Structure 1
Amino acid sequence: MKNIKKSWHLVYILIFIIAVLISVRLAYAQKIAENESKREISTGKLAKSQEKRNGIQILCYHRVIKSNWLTTVTKGLSNNNQIHEYSVTLPTFKHQLATLKKHHVRIISMKTAEKMLKTNKKFSHQYVVITFDDCDQTVFENAIPYLEKEQLPYTLFIITGQTNQYNRGSQMEDWPEIKALQKKSKLVTFGLHTNNLHYLVENKPALMLPENYQAFKKDLRTAQKKFCTELNLKSNLYAYPYGEATNRIQKYLKKHGYLTFSLDTGIIDDDPATKQGALPRIMVTDKAWKQGVLKWLK
């Protein structure tokens, strides 16, 4: 009998140790997710000098989810940033686009924006470019069908080494679906979001570490090779994970004809300074929409 009780005590201790280890791991994973969210979410208000100004504002979305009881319950039970900060509901997404239309903002393709940036003509209207980072499945399921129906152009920035993978609450789309979209749509543009350098090292984006310069160039070649293999194209669009990279990387990409994108709050207007370096691109959250987009609209 004593041996049986001793065995059960050992089982309880083992269960307790396992529970503690799981809790520590979950807490660590949550801390990592929180740090990544803080690094990536656009911060700050739109500069007073840019309010009501003509120019281009680039919007960045990650996930567009359905609004139903399951979404409500999931949000209530989870503190996953992919569900909260990184997601907008489809009704919210539609309302935001309707708001842009109400204020006579013209939604243009990335190609059209590129042409505008190459000229010295003054902006005569307010324009928006819609972009999505990571290539999450919810974008394909919810946002793209609506954009195609409304004939609104959009850009997808793909992490080429993570297609068809599940990452921190986000399920990436696979190449067959991406290729099918390319075949049937005249509205989509594809850009690079690294091949596999979308991560933090001690709370710093991998592209901000000087020692990763050679790794960046190798990663870029790999990403372009996958674009060539899967989509039969080469992209000159490069969105920085977490919106940052070293000056050396920026100079390299600019020298080789790339347009780069940050996650800074701002617009591209007639001031030449707004066209230099990585272009401002606002990650859309409730706060960013109010402070960075609504204050810009006329």
Structure 2
Amino acid sequence: MCIKNFLLSVVLLTFLISCGSSSNTDENAKRDTVYVNDYNVLLVPDLSNRINQNIHPKPVHDTMILSNILDNIKVLVDLKGRSLNQWDIYKFDFINKSTINNSDVCKPEELEINLLRFKGKLAEAASYLRDSIDKDIYLFKSNVRSIYNYSINNSAGADLWNYFNETITTSLKLRELEDITSPTSTVLDPIVLKRYKNVVVLFTDGYIENANKANGYVFDPKRITKIRKEYNASGQKDLEKFILSNQEYLLRKTTNDLKGVNVLVLEMIDRSLDKNGVAKHHPTDFQIMKLIWKEWLTASGADMVEVHQAVKKKDEGYALVKSFMEKL
């Protein structure tokens, strides 16, 4: 009888433990999950001769737009109601890395605002945002001006295809979720998960005229003229359908998967417009470029892509960046 009673007690205890464990699992399963986005923002200028106002004049120079974006970092840090514990990174990234190796031109450590360094240090982060970030933004802007001044006379070209295929990888943040739920939270509190959103703000005129002449890597005025001529001769009315149905017109997608990357393309200059902004050709260069750029980056795996023409006021660039980030 004693053995039977002992076995019965073991079975009963196992049952109770099992029930308790199941109940706890069910409670955790019912907890809401809140996702908090931090932003890894890469400011990426095409430093080819497009930045020379004497060659390719445009309404607002890159440096003015970049300066306005940097001046508003404290606003961007608070996007979507984030008021503390932000791990945002705002970094100037080079398409061609040779410039960054010249210490007389810029100091790489002064081309980044990195709040991740305050991870787990809320008081220090708050103090930095309140008292010290303005100095770092000033240094950031000063370095940007130096880079542009140097690049006007020392153009290194801009291999945009290879930037997205290879160079960018070292500047991206991993997409893994990080649980930052408070240890003192209860089953009534949500589980809080942090994740990075990679944002590439690319300054380019949209023409890819790099030294690599391999098929699928060049998108210059000659190719655009060919597309326009053949479209007009076709009698078709849907430009997008016409372009996307012909692989010859498209940029070859990158072998590097751009999943987790969001690309905002700014400052495309339409060379098919006259000095008064009137189109000399239809469809315009920009209409063709926008379709092909968006198809290329989307086919390469990018999560979200927007393409915009050159802005006419310096604060328009910042407004586009802010709006883009709010959509992520």
Shorter-chain TM-score category? 0.3 to 0.5
TM-score where L is the length of structure 1: 0.35
TM-score, reference length from structure 2: 0.33
Larger CA Rg, structure 1 vs 2: 2
